[in-house]
Amino acid sequence: MSVVLRASNLYKSYGSVSVLTDVSLEVHKGEVITLVGPSGAGKSTLLHLLGSLDTPDKGSVWLKDTDIHRLKDAPLSAFRNRHIGFVFQFHNLLPEFTAEENCMLPALIAGKSPAAVQGELNRLVEFLGIRHRMAHYPNQLSGGEQQRVAVARALINQPDIIFADEPSGNLDSKNAEDLHELFFQLRKEFQQTFVIVTHNPSLAALSDRSYTIRDGSILG
């Protein structure tokens, strides 16, 4: 399998507090990778560095052939929009937009035509089972439906990798199980690559590889 992402010797501190120390990892195309460990271990910080939402003090993150932390702000934003998807615990859907508009927004920001975006969206929402909810606003959707809308939004630009931070942490056990199953269906159907921060042992056990982070370092 080809390497999609390679992180080398990452360090990150906030003030005098060291959060990550010499962290390196690789992610291959089509893998579902989990990052596990106790609260405060540095999992979310690592996810933010890998996803270009924060900058390491030292080290590098390569997404395919791009050293992402060498990009300036505007090129980095454009690169992130086209190549990276995000799914967060609390969905982060815009309440003033319908589910359809929330899903389409990243692709429209990327300059794609509404007609082309609509075609891709139709394919995704059919697969995700939420076509009938597209005209609804976020506050009219269940938690599970909101998270599926967030997944569709993350997928709309056909990114190289999706980063998910506790994506099932705000869901009941049935919806959490459904969401976990969905990630593996997406891997099977679209060869989608995922890096997921989770406290859920069932999801970690299902993943292709699980990195345990403790005190800012990867164990083992």
- Round to whole Å and give the CA distance between 156 and 116: 11
Query: What pLDDT was estimated at residue 220?
Result: 56
Q: Are strands 194-197 and 161-165 parallel, antiparallel or unpaired?
A: parallel
Number of domains into which the chain is organized: 1
Q: What is the pLDDT of residues 58-93, one digit of tens each?
A: 999 999 899 999 999 999 999 999 999 998 877 789
At residue 174, does pLDDT exceed 70? yes
Q: Which domain holds residue 201?
A: 3-218
Question: Within a 13 Å sphere around the CA of 169, how many CA atoms are in the beta-carbon half?
Answer: 14
Residue 158 maps to which CATH number? 3.40.50.300
At residue 51, does pLDDT exceed 60? yes
- Cβ–Cβ under 8 Å, residues 184 and 190: no
Average pLDDT over all residues of the chain: 91
At residue 197, does pLDDT exceed 80? yes
Query: What pLDDT was estimated at residue 98?
Result: 97
Q: What is the pLDDT of residues 132-168, one digit of tens each?
A: 999 999 999 998 899 899 999 999 999 999 999 988 7
Task: Return the minimum-mean-pLDDT range out of 3-7, 22-26, 86-90, 123-127.
Answer: 86-90
* 160 CB neighbour count, 10 Å cutoff: 18
Is the pTM of the predicted complex or chain greater than 0.75? yes
Q: What length is written for the chain?
A: 220
At residue 182, does pLDDT exceed 90? no
At residue 38, does pLDDT exceed 90? no
